[in-house]
Amino acid sequence: MSQTRVAVLVGSLRADSMNRKLAELLRDQAPDGVTLDLVDGLDRLPFYNEDNDGTDVPAAAAALRERVGGADRVLAVTPEYNGTMPAVLNNAIDWLSRPYGQSALTGMPFGVVGTTPTQYGGKWSHADALRSAGIAGAIIVEDVTVSQSSIDVDVLADPEVLGNLHDAVARLVGFESATTAA
Ligand SMILES: Cc1cc2nc3c(=O)[nH]c(=O)nc-3n(C[C@H](O)[C@H](O)[C@H](O)COP(=O)(O)O)c2cc1C
């Protein structure tokens, strides 16, 4: 069976991050034929600077581009910071988006899920991540967005929540467009 590799970008660097735990759980429970590849090292990316994006690209940025560009799908798993996506995720998308015309996200089906301890579950972060990734060339898979509040629910154990998240991954993997079907 052929494998579908989903590159996963986690938007929190916190050691005890709920979103990282969620990403690890989705990885560990991925169905046969699907590999969720948690892309580490986002904390080692320097802030994007066009002056450093010529022939001598920082090693962490080159590794990110190769790993994500070689995937079949991209899933961001992220909380929300101040009403938008955390800078670490935004920075990763910026590195992936360049060089201009050669974005590693071009034609890449992209979804986003995540959780925050507010009633909104990170929906502005998720909307912004989708918009940014889309401008960077990704194909936004509209029904692969789960903004899950963790106020009243154990996100890592609730069957309905986990079902929604697994369904989102399945829709991302199953997504076909004129580009991906080619
Ligand atoms: C700088 C900062 C800004 C935050 N802003 C928001 C916000 O706008 N909306 C929200 O739902 N939660 C916000 N939070 C709370 C985070 O969602 C919460 O800390 C979450 O657990 C972080 O995810 P993690 O557990 O994966 O690290 C913020 C947290 C920090 C540290």
Q: What is the pLDDT of residues 51-96, one digit of tens each?
A: 999 888 999 999 999 999 999 999 999 999 999 999 999 999 999 9
Is residue 116 within 6 Å of ligand 1 at its C-beta?
yes
Quick one: pLDDT band at residue 181, thresholds 50, 70, 90? low
CB atoms under 10 Å from CB of 29, counted, come to 12
Q: How far is the CA of 62 from the centre of ligand 1 (A)?
A: 29
Phi, psi at 129, each rounded to 5°:
-60, -40
User: Considering the entire predicted model, what is its pTM?
Assistant: 0.96
H runs (alpha helix) in the chain: 18-28, 59-69, 87-97, 123-135, 159-174
Q: From the alpha carbon of 14, which atom of ligand 1 is closest?
A: 27
Which of 6-20, 123-137, 142-156 has the least mean pLDDT? Answer: 142-156
